[in-house]
Amino acid sequence: MNVHNQNNKLKVFKFGGASVQDAQSIINLAGILKKYNHKPLIVVISAMNKTTRQLIKLTQLYFKSTDYQNQLKLIIDFHQNIINELFIEPKNINYEFEQLIEQLNQKLTQKPSSDYDFEYDQIVVYGELFSTKIIAAYLKQENIDNEWVDIRKLIKTDAEYANAKPDWQQTAQLLQKQFKYQKNTVITQGFIASNQQGFNTSLGIEGSDFSAAIIAYSLNAQELVVWKDVAGFYSSDPKLFKNVVKLDAVSFHEAVELAYYGAKIIHPKTIKPLQNKKIPLHVKSFINPDLSGTLIKETTENNTGLQPEVPVFITKNNQILISIAPQDFSFIAEDNLSDIFSLMARFRIKVNLMQNSAISFSICVDYEPVRIKQLLLELKNNYKVLYNTNLTLITIRHYNSSIIEELTVGRKIFVQQKSRNTARFVVK
């Protein structure tokens, strides 16, 4: 079976950390796979629950040459308890788990380099390796035939550790060769990869979704299904707001716009490769898998980008608004902007909103204390800098006057911008 034929039936499923947070969640995942029973199927799985955060703490202790044994034990015990709950006869999975622990121990006994991002990538990958080894073994216990695949051998990237970019051509060739005759279910990892030197790399924010999109794109999959703890894409975060509306369908273009503005459902770098090959992305609930979810595709039936067409609003808290002006009160010119953007690139600060006048330039960004402090120190060398913290950025797509009033009433507005489809406000 040639899986990179445009008419193939391959599906890619992606399960995030919340969907595999404990033994019962893994039992639920097995139930979903039994229900779909789709062959061939590639299942991309994240680290369990908060394991990545725990591995980051472990990396920080290791990098500072501080005692990390208690932190390591916490991670091992968490997974061992899940193994004990899931398995009738855990001998085989215990052996595979212990092999991974031994590899991690060998890494931790080496002296750390001076590159934190490199060390981060060498350690954090174990979250996905632990979860997929345990889940693949449990599925076999439940008579779900599957093959465990190390995605690091197939997704190749550059050497930008902690935020690696895929080598699309080489990755596609490796994936197509690996899965050319795939007929059963594959269990593999999200978020992790490797570079040309064979070192572990990671794909940055929302890397597991991105991994699934890379696989779907490279193999011309029929569909990518992302399983989440919500029933689909809503007009706003249902965990934060009441009376939100579930969207049955969203166009690729609209989804990229919403993700760019901060909608948490899917990262834009996940959507773009799927859009390039018109591969539908289905967002479904792992809690209620029979619900229809939201389909992200090339167009919606009404061609507005949303079904139903309702205002969609996104809030980003913990923002800082920084206003920058030349010290001599001359005009903000192109060379000033080039200088400012180069500083933001150096400190990896993403602009959420910008606005300029003749003599000043303002940016709204996430408040990350260490990076923001470095940026402000650099800017003050050449510019007059003012800033406000603890702000909220509100973005409303397909806005109307009543939704603007509802979201901004009683709040001080620092910046407001309106275009044909989008209104944005920085408020206190």
* CB-based contact 250:234 (threshold 8 Å): no
Average pLDDT over residues 178-182: 91
pLDDT band at 241 (very low <50, low <70, confident <90, very high): confident
Angle at CA of residue 233, ends 229 and 236, nearest 5°: 100
Strand, helix or coil at 273? helix
Q: Of all residues in the chain, what percent carry a pLDDT higher than 70?
A: 98
Q: What is the pLDDT of residue 181?
A: 87
Average pLDDT over residues 354-363: 92
Q: What is the pLDDT of residue 95?
A: 97
Q: What is the pLDDT of residue 38?
A: 67
Residue 173 has pLDDT above 70, yes or no: yes
Pure H helices in 109-184: 116-124, 126-141, 168-178
Q: What is the pLDDT of residue 4?
A: 44
Q: What is the pLDDT of residue 8?
A: 66
Residue 6 has pLDDT above 70, yes or no: no
* CB-based contact 321:355 (threshold 8 Å): no
Q: What is the pLDDT of residue 3?
A: 45
Angle at CA of residue 293, ends 287 and 295, nearest 5°: 145
**312-427, CATH topology level:** VC0802-like (3.30.2130)
Helix (H) or strand (E) holding 35: helix 23-36
Instruction: Tell me how far CA of residue 333 lies from CA of 122, 227, 352, 360, in angstroms.
Output: 43, 47, 21, 10
**The residue type at 352:** N
pLDDT digits (tens, 9 = 90+) for 307-350: 898 999 999 999 999 999 998 878 888 888 999 999 999 998 99
How far is 275 from 53, CA to CA, in rounded Å?
Answer: 31
Average confidence score pLDDT of the chain: 93
Residue 7 has pLDDT above 60, yes or no: no
pLDDT winner (highest mean) among 1-15, 28-42, 379-393: 379-393
Region class of 319: left (phi > 0), else alpha (psi between -120 and 50), else beta: beta
Read off the pTM.
0.89
How far is 48 from 308, CA to CA, in rounded Å?
Answer: 34
Sketch the domain layout of the chain as residue ranges.
11-228, 312-427
Residue 66 has pLDDT above 90, yes or no: yes
Residue 200 has pLDDT above 50, yes or no: yes
Give the architecture-level CATH label for domain 11-228.
Answer: 3-Layer(aba) Sandwich (3.40)
Average pLDDT over residues 382-404: 95
Instruction: Tell me how far CA of residue 203 lies from CA of 97, 132, 161, in angstroms.
Output: 24, 18, 8
Residue 1 has pLDDT above 70, yes or no: no
